[in-house]
A and B are shown apart, each in its own frame.
Chain A
Amino acid sequence: MISALIKWMQRYEGWVGAGGGLCILAGLYLGLVASPPDYYQGEVVRIMYVHVPLVQTGMLAYSTLFIGSLWYLWKRDPIVDNLCHAAAGISAFFTALGLITGSIWAKPTWNTWWTWDARLVSFAVMFLILVGYLMLRTFVDDPEREARYAAVLAIVGFVDLPIVHFSVEWWRTLHQPLSFSMRGVSMSKPMLIPLGIMTVGFSLTFFYMLMVRTQMLYLDHLLTAKKGRLLSQAHLSSDVGSSPSSLSTP
């Protein structure tokens, strides 16, 4: 009855979640207390340790959605569709938080909350694509069609990801270029460590959330389907006046 993937998630989700939680707690301590202020930005640089991992995780979640959508179109396994749906919701959440924290970082450094440069616009477009994806899913009735349309949409929308990543290298932007690129690493160690730990922590937390949310969507569908079938069986077999409590007996 319960799929193998769900069983696997039940078994391992605790380890992933605990790892993510511990990394974030350690990263919080390092980022807020132990790490030094930046030579140019001062204390505000601490926002980086939360903003960058949020954005990275949003993009990791979208990549998961992309791979999951391809997988779904290949295998047509409904549980993979649950996984995609879960990844999209989480990605939209992380992307929104990334946009807001970025805005909070921009005000004291750039002197503006928002500006229409290529990085900011392409990242906001990613958020809109995810919102469109989630909206589309609520409007299609047939579950098989819903999954198919959504998968295609997610795959098309994936073109935005490389644009988000490389926008700061391709065009003139107010946003600074990549700190990790072919040129090397432009961040010194005392700042690299909290950032790395936070990024690992957020990624693990994402995988944990993905496991929980996939189970949530799967169980929800399972319950609705089963209730629906039992209900129609009850309608077929018994009188209209039968009480709901008798529904569960076959």
Chain B
Amino acid sequence: MTGLYLRWSALVIAAVVIAALASRYFEQNLTSLTPEEIVSLQPTRVVRVIGLVKGGTLRGDLDSGHASFELAGRQEALPVEYDGPPPENLRELKTLVVIGSLDPSSGTFLAHELALVTNYGYVVGAYLIGLLPLAIFLFGMERKVTFLYREIKESKLYEPETAHHVDTR
């Protein structure tokens, strides 16, 4: 019985460590600000901004990697100048993450990279729904088997019966 609990606690600890690593990775590399936060905070470092490319505002030459558009948040829209590798996933009416820094003099956001919206909710949900029930199901089975073996031992079922047939049901 203690072996069962020891094994499972080791597994749970390992899973928690991986979850912590993953959430740290997401927080360090993948947290995004909204256009409103950019306008109010005026950050000077490189940041990620998430928003919707406003319809009818996308201009530029996508094949050479130059584009300008407005990134809309809930209330405000942030003008963005993109300059980088030809964007794979840039179009109007799409939620995008732009990576770059704010030009404080003009209020334009200078982006050098685009990324797709990071749907953590779905990813975390899928992993939890995929793995948690599996672990609980397996743990329950293992525990039951341990109990059954113990019960068989205690009720002396290993001792030979007087009856001859060995139907195992």
Determine direct contact between A and B, CB below 8 Å.
yes
Residues of A at the B interface (CB closer than 8 Å) are: 1, 3, 21, 24-25, 28-29, 32-33, 37, 39-44, 46-47, 50-51, 54, 78-79, 93, 97, 100-101, 104-105, 107-108, 143, 205, 208-209, 212-213, 215-216, 218-227, 229-230, 233, 248, 250
In the bound complex, residues from chain B placing their C-beta under 8 Å from that of A108 are 119, 122
- Complex contacts, B167 vs chain A, CB 8 Å: 78, 225
Q: In the complex, which range does the number of interface residues on chain B fall in?
A: 35 or more
Known A-B contacts A33-B25, A44-B119; the reply to A226 vs B148 at CB < 8 A is: no
Known contacts A47-B127, A54-B130; 13 additional CB pairs below 8 A are A1-B160, A39-B88, A42-B119, A51-B130, A79-B168, A97-B129, A212-B145, A216-B141, A216-B145, A222-B157, A223-B148, A223-B155, A225-B167
Some 26 contacts from A to B, beta carbons below 8 A apart, are A1-B157, A24-B131, A25-B11, A33-B25, A42-B115, A43-B30, A44-B123, A50-B127, A78-B167, A93-B137, A97-B129, A97-B134, A100-B130, A101-B130, A104-B126, A208-B138, A212-B138, A213-B141, A215-B145, A219-B149, A221-B169, A223-B155, A225-B168, A226-B157, A248-B155, A250-B161
Interface residues of B (CB under 8 A from A): 11, 14-15, 18, 21-22, 25, 30, 88-89, 115-120, 122-123, 125-127, 129-131, 133-134, 137-138, 141-142, 144-145, 148-149, 151-152, 155-163, 166-169
Q: What separation, in Å, do the CA atoms of A205 and B106 have in the docked complex? A: 58
Pick the most buried of A101, A221, A227: most chain B CB atoms within 10 A of its CB: A101
Return A1 CB to nearest CB of chain B, in Å: 6
Q: Evaluate whether A40 and B88 lie within 8 angstroms (CB atoms) in the complex, with A219-B149, A229-B161 already known.
A: yes
- Nearest B-chain residue to A38, judged by Cβ: B116
Distance to closest chain B CB from A201 (angstroms): 11
- Bound state CA distance, A42 and B113, in angstroms? 14
Q: A221–B168 Cα gap in the complex (Å)?
A: 7
Which of A29, A100, A101 is close to B18, meaning CB atoms less than 8 Å apart? A29
* Complex CA–CA separation, A218 to B152 (angstroms): 12
A-chain residues with CB within 8 Å of residue B30 when the two chains form the complex: 43
Are A97 and B168 closer than 8 Å at their CB atoms?
no
Q: Decide if A50 touches B126 in the complex (CB within 8 Å).
A: yes
Cβ contacts under 8 Å, B158 to chain A: 1
Query: By the criterion CB–CB under 8 Å, are A3 and B168 in contact?
Result: yes
A58 to chain B, nearest CB (A): 12
B137 and A105 contacting across the interface, CB-CB below 8 Å: no
Expressed in whole angstroms, the Cα–Cα distance for A230 and B163 within the complex equals: 9
Known contacts A97-B129, A222-B152; is-contact A40 B89 (Cβ 8 Å): yes
Give every chain B residue within 8 A of A233 (Cβ-Cβ). 162-163
Residues of A within 8 A of B166 (CB): 1
| Across-interface contacts of A28 in B (CB, < 8 A) | 15, 18, 127
Q: Which residues of A contact B123 (CB under 8 A)?
A: 32, 43-44, 46-47
B21 and A33 contact, CB distance less than 8 A: yes
Contact B169 A78 (CB under 8 A): yes
Give the docked Cα–Cα distance between A230 and B152 (Å): 13
Q: Which of A25, A44, A218 contacts B15 (CB 8 A)?
A: A25
B8 to chain A: closest residue by CB: A21
Are A226 and B161 closer than 8 Å at their CB atoms? yes
Known interface pairs A47-B122, A216-B144, A229-B161. Does A37 touch B152 (Cβ–Cβ under 8 Å)?
Answer: no
Smallest CB gap from B97: residue in A? A42
Given the known interface contacts A50-B126, A97-B134, A225-B168, the answer about A43 and B156 at a Cβ–Cβ threshold of 8 Å is: no
- Most chain A CB within 10 A, of B15, B89, B130, is at B130
Q: Chain B: which residue is nearest A221 at the CB level? A: B169
B156 touching A248, Cβ below 8 Å:
yes
A3 to B168, CA, bound (A): 9
Task: Give A218 to B167 CA distance when docked, in angstroms.
Answer: 11
Query: A223: which B residues are within 8 A, CB to CB?
Result: 148, 151-152, 155, 157
Selected from A37, A93, A205, the residue in CB contact (under 8 A) with B115 is: A37
